[in-house]
Amino acid sequence: MQTNTTYTSLVAVGDSFTEGMSDRLPDGSYRGWADLLAARMAARTPGFRYANLAVRGKLIGQIVAEQVDVAVAMQPDVITLVGGLNDTLRPKCDMVRVRSLLEEAVERLAPACKQLVLMRSPGRQGPVLERFRPRMEELFTCVDDLASRHGALVVDLYGAQSLGDPRMWDVDRLHLTGEGHRRVAEAVWQALGHAAEDTEWRTPMAPSAPPGWAARRTADVRFARQYLLPWIGRRLTGRSSGDGRLPKRPELLPYEEYRGPVE
C-alpha cells in the first residue's frame, strides 16, 4: 500500500544478509539490499541518513548484545532487523532461546523508531535446506507474531518463489547474488509504502536447461572446498566469519558521506 510517509533515516541491523554479501562491488566491498534501499530513499529525501550495523556470521544473541542498543540510541525513522537464521543453521540450536532473544530485540527496537521492518528470510531450493526448514519456519512464525504485537512490517521473502531459484544465490549457496539483493530492496521499498519500481520482483526467472552431471559435480566440489569445509572448521573451533569485524557503516550519517571500508 502506498503512503505519504517521508522517512529521513534508516538503520539496518543483522548479519551477512543485511551486510550485503555476496553483492560485491568493483572495489571489493559489499553493497547489498540495505545499501540499495538507502540509496533510493536518499534520492527522494535530501539529507537522508543511513547506518548499517550488520556483521556477517552474527547470531541473534550477538545482534542483541552488539547492535540493538546502538540502533536504539540513533532513534532513526526506520529500523530493519533480520536475525536468527544463522542460529537455525547450527547443529545445536535452542529455538526457545532464539525466540526469546528475537522478542527482546523487537521490544527494544520498535519504540525507538517510526517503523520497524522484519523479514521472513529467503530460502534457497535444495535438499540441504530441508534439514533446517522446520526451524526456519518456527522462526518466521515468531517474526509474524512479534510484528502483529509491535506494529512492525513483515517482508515475506521466504514466500517469494523468485528468490528460491538457485540462480539467485552465489556459489557459496548461502548469500544472494546482486540480482537477488536488488529484488529484496524492491520488496522492502514497496513494504514501506513507496510506488513499485519493479512490479515483477516476485516473478521467477525464465526456465533454463539444468546443468549437466559433470558441471554439477564440479560445482559441488568447488562449493565443498571453498565454503563448506571452512564453515565446518569454524563451527568446530567456535569461530565466526565476523570475528573482529566492525560494521561497514557504524554511524548514522548522510548517505553520501560514508561508503564503508573496502573488504
In a domain, 92, yes or no: yes
pTM of the prediction? 0.86
What value does the CA radius of gyration of the chain take, rounded to a whole number of Å?
Answer: 18
In a domain, 79, yes or no: yes
CATH number of the domain residue 122 falls in: 3.40.50.1110
Cβ neighbours for 169, distance < 8 A, ≥ 6 positions apart: 124, 175, 176, 177, 180
In a domain, 35, yes or no: yes
Q: What share of the chain in percent tops pLDDT 90? A: 65
* pLDDT single digits (tens) 33-65: 999 999 999 999 999 999 999 999 999 999 999
HSE, side-chain direction, 13 A CA sphere, residue 75: 1
HSE, side-chain direction, 13 A CA sphere, residue 135: 19
d(CA 206, CA 80) in angstroms, rounded, equals: 31
Tell me, what's the pLDDT at 91?
Answer: 82
Tell me, what's the pLDDT at 262?
Answer: 36
In a domain, 211, yes or no: no
d(CA 124, CA 17) in angstroms, rounded, equals: 13
Q: What are phi and psi of 123, to 5 degrees?
A: -130, 125
Assess contact for 50 and 13: CB atoms under 8 A.
no
d(CA 140, CA 144) in angstroms, rounded, equals: 6
List the domain range (segments joined by +) for residue 60. Answer: 9-205
List the one residue out of 92, 95, 109, 91 whose CA is nearest residue 14: 109
How many domains, in total, are found in the chain? 1
In a domain, 244, yes or no: no
Of the listed ranges 99-113, 152-166, 219-233, the one predicted with least confidence: 219-233
d(CA 137, CA 6) in angstroms, rounded, equals: 33
Q: Write a three-state SS string for 49-102.
A: EEEECCCCCCCHHHHHHHHHHHHHHHCCCEEEEECCHHHHCCCCCCHHHHHHHH
In a domain, 159, yes or no: yes
In a domain, 162, yes or no: yes
Q: Write a three-state SS string for 6-31.
A: CCCEEEEEECHHHHCCCCECCCCCEC
| Per-residue confidence band for 236, with pLDDT thresholds at 50, 70 and 90 | low
For the chain, count helices (H), then strands (E).
10, 6
In a domain, 170, yes or no: yes
**Cell, residue 43:** 534520492
| Distance (Å) of CA 166 to CA 27, 55, 118, 122, 141 | 26, 24, 24, 11, 24
Mean residue pLDDT of the chain comes to: 87
| Per-residue confidence band for 263, with pLDDT thresholds at 50, 70 and 90 | very low
d(CA 74, CA 117) in angstroms, rounded, equals: 16
Cβ neighbours for 223, distance < 8 A, ≥ 6 positions apart: 171, 172, 173
